[in-house]
Amino acid sequence: MSLLSQVISGVLGGAGGSSSPLQNVLMGMLAGGQQGGMGGSGPQGGGLADLVAGFRQAGLGHIADSWVGTGPNHPVSPDQLRNVLGQDRVQEMASQTGMDQSSLLSQLSQHLPKVVDGMTPNGQLPDEGTVSV
């Protein structure tokens, strides 16, 4: 099991190899589309570095940087996540999970800071291509 899988399972309370739709969306977001689920191109094309870049472009870099850094994690609101991810991407993820957009964004706002924090124990983004699924 990869670090990404371990972190997501630990945060979501998953056991063994079973995966939830939310876990699959998080894997897709943070693994750069390697697992499917996000794909796309540009700042929100997928991957941890792209996610952080999207937060910076939205003027919310301090939030994502807090998750990567070794200090306390700043919270993110569902509306801030919608702003960073974009409506089309939120709709796509909601469809993948079978959740409504509001529930999806609420869950992501709760879990994403912990997952990113767990993936960056040294306070740095991993080198591109080193996040395995």
How buried is residue 26: exposed, middle or buried, by Cβ count under 10 Å (0-12/13-18/19+)?
buried
At 53, which CATH number? 1.10.10.690
**Domain span holding position 99:** 3-119
From the DSSP assignment, how many helices (H) and strands (E) are in the chain? 7, 0
Whether 129 is in a domain gets the answer no
Whether 8 is in a domain gets the answer yes
CB atoms within 10 A of CB 49: 17
Number of compact structural domains in the chain: 1
Instruction: Quick: pLDDT tens for 79-118.
Output: 999 999 999 999 999 999 999 999 999 999 999 999 999 9
- What's the pTM value of the predicted model, to 2 decimals? 0.81
Whether 105 is in a domain gets the answer yes
Instruction: Quick: pLDDT tens for 39-93.
Output: 343 344 568 999 999 999 999 999 999 999 999 999 999 999 999 999 999 999 9
